[in-house]
Structure 1
Amino acid sequence: MTADDSFGRLDDDDYPAYTMGRAAEMLNTTQGFLRAIGEACLITPLRSAGGHRRYSRYQLRIAARARELVDGGTPIEAACRIVILEDQLEEAQRINAEHHRDTKPPGMPPSA
C-alpha cells in the first residue's frame, strides 16, 4: 500500500484508523468502556498485525451513542441493545425509502 492509498482510506468511515487509546481519548471515556461494549457485541474492533484493537469512525459514532445512554443511567448491556436496534431501524428506513423510490409509478409526485 502506498502513502496515497493510506491517505485515501482516511475518508473511509469503516477504515480502522484509531488505536484503543486514541479512541478512548476522543470519546472522553476509558479503554475499559471500549472493551465492555466489545464484549457486549456492540462493536468488534479490527486487530492490527500486533493484535492491538483498531477502531473506525463509524465504530466511534456507535460507541459515542452508547456512552450517552450509559452516562444517562442506562445499564451498558441495555445501552448496547438500544444502539443496535436504532442502527437496525435506520437501515430498515433507508431500505424502505429506496424501495418506495424505485417502485413509484412514472409521473407520480415525489410526496406520494
Structure 2
Amino acid sequence: MGQNPDDRLTDEHYPAYTMGRAAEMLGTTRGFLRSLDQMNLINPQRSAAGHRFYTRHELRLAARARALVDQGIGLEAACRIIALQDELQEARRHLQHS
C-alpha cells in the first residue's frame, strides 16, 4: 500500500520537487542541479519520462553546495567538503550512541 499523503508532507526523502521548482527555490539553474547529480552529491528520482524529482534533503544539500560555490570554492571541492562534513557528523553521532 502507498504512503499516506500526510506522511509525504513531512518526509524529507519524498521526491516532491521538480527540477524547475527546485532551481527556482534555490535561486540557481537547472544546469547546477544536473552538475550536482553528475558529482553524485544528490541522486534525484526520475519519472518514467526521465524527469528529475528532488527531496527536501537533496535541496538542503544543493543549498549547501551553492553557498560554498558562491564563496569561490569549486564545485568538485564543494561536493567533497559536504560529503566529509556529513561523514564527520555521522561518526560523531555514532560515537555518542556507543
**Where on the TM-score scale, by shorter chain, does this alignment land: which range?**
over 0.9
Equivalent residue of 1:88, what SS? helix
Q: Aligned AA for 2:9? A: L
Q: Aligned AA for 2:67? A: E
Equivalent residue of 2:80, what SS? helix
Among all aligned residue pairs of Structure 1 and Structure 2, give the percentage whose two residues are the same amino acid. Answer: 58
List per-residue Cα deviations over 1:39-64 (Å, max 9, x = no partner).
11111111123221000000111110
- The CA distance in 1 between the partners of 2:90 and 2:51, in whole Å, is 30
Equivalent residue of 1:10, what SS? helix
Q: 16-25 vs 41-50, which deviates more?
A: 41-50
Q: Which structure is higher in RCO with an 8 Å CA cutoff and minimum separation 6? A: 2
Larger Rg: 1
TM-score by length of 1: 0.82
Residue in 1 that maps onto 2:75: 76
- Consecutive unaligned residues in structure 1, runs of 5 or more: 100-112
Question: Hey, which bits of structure 1, 4+ residues long, moved more than 4 A?
Answer: none
1:39 aligns with 2:38: yes
Residue in 1 that maps onto 2:52: 53
1:64 aligns with 2:87: no
Matched residues, number:
98
TM-score by length of 2: 0.93
- Consecutive unaligned residues in structure 2, runs of 5 or more: none
Residue in 2 that maps onto 1:105: none
- The CA distance in 1 between the partners of 2:55 and 2:86, in whole Å, is 16
